[in-house]
Each structure stands twice: as C-alpha cells, then as structure tokens.
C-alpha cells in the first residue's frame, strides 16, 4: 500500500479546512436569517406645548340710554324707600357715559311772550323758528339737605314721564291746562339729572341762568313740528363732591315716590328735529361753543 505523500496530505487537510469554513459560514448566515430582528427602541415624542388660553376680553360697557338711566334711578329709589344703601349697580355707575333725549314742545308753539323753560315759537312773517331751552337751577338744599355743604348750585333738567323709555312726544293726550312749568320740585316730577357745582369747582359747563337758544330761518312749507323737538343730552355719570351717582330723598313721607337726582357731568347739549333727525344747534359745554345748523 502506497503511503500518501506529504504534499497530498497537506492538500487534503486544506480542503477539509475550507469545507469546514464554508459549512460554518453557511450555518451562521442561515442562523442570522432565522433570528427575529431586534426592535429599535424609539424615544417617546414630547407632547406639543399648547399656547396659554387668551384672557377673556374686558366687558364692554355701553352708553347708557334713557331706559338704563330710569332703571338706575329706580334701583336707587327702591333702596332709599327701604332705608338701605344704593345697590352696586348704582355705586358702580360712576364714570359711565350716557346719552338721552327729552322731547319738548309737543303741544305746539308757545306764545311769543311765553315763559315756559322749554319752548319754541315760529314767526311766519319772518320765517323764523326760535327755540328756547332753559336748564333748571336748584340750590344744594333742594336735594341734599344737611349734606349740601360745599354744593353751590345744581343745573340740569327734569326727566318728564320717567315711567316710559320712549323719547318721543306722547300721543293721545289732551294738552295740559297750564303752559308754564314749575322750576323747583313740581308735584308731577320725580327724576332729574344735573351737574353739581361747588364754590371752588371749575365753571366749565355752567350756564348761570343762561338758556340754550337758537333762531333758524325755515320756510313754513318745510317745517314739520308734529313731533315737537328733542333736547339731546350727553355726558357721564359722576360721584363728584363725595356724593353718590344717584341721590334720592323722600320729602313727604313713605307714601310718595322718592325724588332722585342723577349726578352727571354734561359734555354736550343739542336740539334735534325728531322728524328729520337733523341737529339744529349744539353746545359743547366744556368750551361753551354753539354750532347752529
């Protein structure tokens, strides 16, 4: 028997080694193919940052009209009749703006020599429309009794028919017997608005008895006075001089409605034609200027 040569032995050994490497590599690859892939850990995403909620918008405080002023005075009168302090709606009205209209001259023209505080007269010969509005002047004692120290005078207007929010002339009523209105505390008046003046306060807006007057040239054919005229008053409610925005007192006991004064600072007074809504004259009380139209 022939013994293998050293060279053939080395070749056989090398072949066996190569075969082992091939078989082992194939097994390794097959093993990797059958092993489930490792899941890659994923870091959780951060929750999105939400913007802070916007603050609620401030409450809109509108301009108080006739109905709102009457309601405000009614709340003050109710508290006064019960012997209580004014409710928050009244005390917190300080600084609120208002605008209201007072109808006047609803029963027709006044005589040429009439003395009513709010009146109008038309002269067909001159085609002249004359309008006269005189504010009421009260002494401090008329409203505040012992609390009137420092109050020199009060200028303002009675709010006729304070049981209605209507700013138009009343309908369906006969004209009153008298044509002249009482200036101080008439029996049929219970609500007024006025500006308080003290001895050391400014004179801006103070009339000192001077009426609001205007004269316009108007053709009679173009004049419609079936609704009279309107006095438009605007300004803001005030608690000046340490007095409440609405002051009420009962002069004749608990059986009579309290008399109430809305404490205001007047900015403008204007006379309007309710039919056309034209402004016939306007007065800026700060500058005491008048503009006629």
DSSP string covering the chain: -PPPPHHHHHHHHHHHHHHHHHHHHHHHHHHHHHSPPPPPP-PPPPPPPPPPPPPPPPPP---B-HHHHHHHHHHHHHHHHTT-PPPHHHHTTTT-EEEEEEEE-TT-PPPTT---SEEEEEETTTTEEEEEE--EEE-THHHHGGG-TTEEEEEEEE-S-TT----S---S-PPPS--PPPSS--TT--EEEEEEEETTS--TT--TT--EEEEEE--GGG---TT-EEEEEEEEE--GGG--SEEEE-SS-TTSPPEEEEEEEEEEEEEE-TTT--EEEEEETTTTEEEE-
| Average pLDDT of span 269-277 | 95
Q: Are 264 and 194 in contact (CB under 8 A)?
A: yes
Residue 186 CA to residue 178 CA, distance in Å, equals 13
Per-residue pLDDT of 55-83, as tens digits, reads: 655 455 799 999 999 999 999 999 999 99
- Per-residue model confidence (pLDDT) at position 93: 96
Q: Residues 15-52: pLDDT tens digits? A: 555 555 544 555 544 555 554 555 555 555 555 566 66
Of residues 193, 180, 187, 84, the one with CA closest to residue 136: 193
Stated as kind and residue range, the H or E segment containing 75 is: helix 66-81
* Buried-state track 6-38, b at ≥16 Cβ within 10 A, e below 16: eeeeeeeeeeeeeeeeeeeeeeeeeeeeeeeee
Residues in the chain: 293
How do residues 107-140 score in pLDDT, each as one tens digit? Answer: 999 998 999 999 999 999 999 999 999 999 999 8
Distance CA(238)–CA(247), nearest Å, equals: 11
Tell me the sheet residues that pair with 132: 119, 213
- CA distances to 51, 198, 227, 285 from 167, in Å: 49, 31, 11, 22
Nearest to residue 273, comparing CAs of 203, 220, 236, 226?
Answer: 226
Q: What are phi and psi of 72, to 5 degrees?
A: -65, -45
**pTM passes above 0.95:** no
Residue 145 DSSP one-character state: G
> Mean per-residue pLDDT for 90-98?
96
Min mean pLDDT across 106-110, 181-185, 204-208, 286-290 is at: 181-185
User: Could you tell me if 125 and 204 are in contact, meaning their C-beta atoms sit under 8 angstroms apart?
Assistant: no
Ranges of each domain in the chain: 66-170+190-288
What is the spatial distance between Cα 259 and Cα 99, in angstroms, rounded to a whole number? 21
Backbone phi and psi for residue 91, each to the nearest 5 degrees, phi listed first: -65, -30
Q: Is 232 helix (H, G, I), strand (E, B) or coil?
A: strand
**Of 51-60, 94-103, 141-150, 255-264, the least confident:** 51-60
């Amino acid at each position: 028997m022939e013994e293998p040569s050293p060279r053939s032995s080395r070749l056989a050994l090398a072949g066996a080694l190569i075969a082992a490497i091939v078989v082992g590599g194939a097994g390794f690859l097959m093993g990797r193919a059958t092993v489930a892939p490792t899941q890659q850990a994923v870091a959780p995403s951060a929750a999105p940052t939400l913007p802070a909620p916007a603050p609620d918008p401030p409450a809109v405080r509108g301009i108080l009209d006739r109905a709102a002023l009457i309601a405000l005075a009614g709340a003050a009168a109710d508290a006064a009749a019960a012997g209580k302090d004014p409710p928050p709606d009244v005390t917190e009205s300080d600084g609120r703006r208002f605008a209201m209209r007072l109808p006047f001259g609803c029963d027709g023209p006044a005589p040429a020599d009439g003395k009513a505080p709010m009146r109008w007269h038309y002269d067909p010969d001159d085609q002249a429309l004359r309008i006269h509005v005189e504010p009421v002047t009260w002494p401090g004692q008329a409203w505040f009794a012992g609390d009137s120290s420092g109050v020199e005078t009060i200028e303002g207007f009675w709010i006729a028919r304070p049981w209605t929010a209507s700013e138009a002339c009343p309908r369906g009523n006969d004209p009153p017997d008298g044509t002249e209105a009482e200036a101080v505390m008439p029996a049929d008046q219970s609500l007024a608005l006025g500006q308080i003046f003290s001895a050391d306060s400014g004179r801006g807006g103070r009339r000192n008895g001077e009426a609001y007057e205007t004269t316009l040239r108007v053709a009679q054919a173009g004049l419609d006075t079936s609704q009279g005229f309107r006095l438009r008053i605007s300004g803001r409610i005030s608690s000046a001089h340490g007095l409440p925005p609405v002051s009420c007192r009962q002069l004749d006991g608990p059986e009579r409605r309290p008399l109430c004064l809305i404490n205001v600072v007047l900015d403008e007074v204007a006379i309007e034609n309710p039919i056309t809504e034209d402004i016939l004259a306007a007065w800026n009380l700060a500058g005491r200027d008048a503009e006629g139209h």
